Copies of this chain bind each other. A is one copy, B any other.
């Protein structure tokens, strides 16, 4: 199978996307791979696999490569003798943050009928926004932490015990996020968050909260990963995150009771199905007094959460054969024809 790995993008997470893509080169050993880099200016470049090193991008050397055009059915190399398709069975969207996770890339690939692995537009738009993620969780019966929502021009009144955590609704990578210990600090944290977004959510901050990550996909049947208990030292700052996105070694399964494992898996399935079909998604859950709460959805997780699966490459192959099929809308112009026949004119 030939997998086209799409990475980069006009995103705060552009650099970690490069790291994720390099990790895929190590993980996907049996498949033929195309690497398609989306430059900060949103040009598409076909990158030779041998050049897949981070320095190649930071130096700007990638610009020596040929550009591609995205058109119906896939990417094309334009030449003097016309347009030549890039051979590919499936595109793996590995762009983190804006473009990749906000629904733009999903829309482009859907519109042009290019088979791809990633959430579709609607799932992306919802999970990219922490406020709408709450709605989504509620609509499928998965708990989330209580929260307050403030828009930029709202009165800054929050009825919540401190400490709280203030988050811009749309950004990943911990950008603009603060833990606030008392009411006096709230204003400053809101100023910071509103620098990045029109809307913020505020949640209780619970020290040493238990956190568990579950990834999975629907591949004609459920393919759920092991559950990991991530070892976080406070927040992941950007450099730690950078290292985190290069993970490719299998991790140990969290040692948790069977009942809790089943509850986490069930919560994952509720969130994922059917909205996230076509993707390998990772959900991060909190557990408080034995109850499962959705923290966040990672529609394009770092290094695709490959390290949580026994055989990640086999999973991608099966998933690529079970992608959601867009409804075929037949347009027969019967309304226009009916009205013409009735009116006898244009």
Output the residue of A58, A113, A337 with the most chain B CB within 10 A. Answer: A58
* CB-defined contacts of A185 to chain B, threshold 8 Å: none
Q: Count of A residues near B, CB < 8 Å?
A: 61
* CB-defined contacts of A124 to chain B, threshold 8 Å: 125
* CB-defined contacts of A12 to chain B, threshold 8 Å: 329
Q: Let me know if A86 is at the binding interface, CB within 8 A.
A: no
Which residues does A use to contact B, with CB under 8 Å? Answer: 10-12, 14-16, 18, 40-43, 53-55, 57-58, 69, 71-72, 98-99, 102-108, 110-113, 121-122, 124-126, 128-129, 131-132, 135, 139-140, 149, 151, 198, 238-239, 242, 274, 329, 331, 333, 335-340, 346
- Taking a contact as CB atoms closer than 8 A, the residue among B10, B43, B139, B239 that contacts A131 in the complex is B139
* CB-defined contacts of A72 to chain B, threshold 8 Å: 41-43
Docked complex Cα distance between A15 and B57 (Å): 46
Docked complex Cα distance between A335 and B238 (Å): 8
* CB-defined contacts of A102 to chain B, threshold 8 Å: 121-122
- Taking a contact as CB atoms closer than 8 A, the residue among B107, B113, B329, B336 that contacts A58 in the complex is B336
* CB-defined contacts of A71 to chain B, threshold 8 Å: 69
- Asked if residues A11 and B121 are in contact (CB atoms below 8 Å), the reply is no
Docked complex Cα distance between A336 and B56 (Å): 10
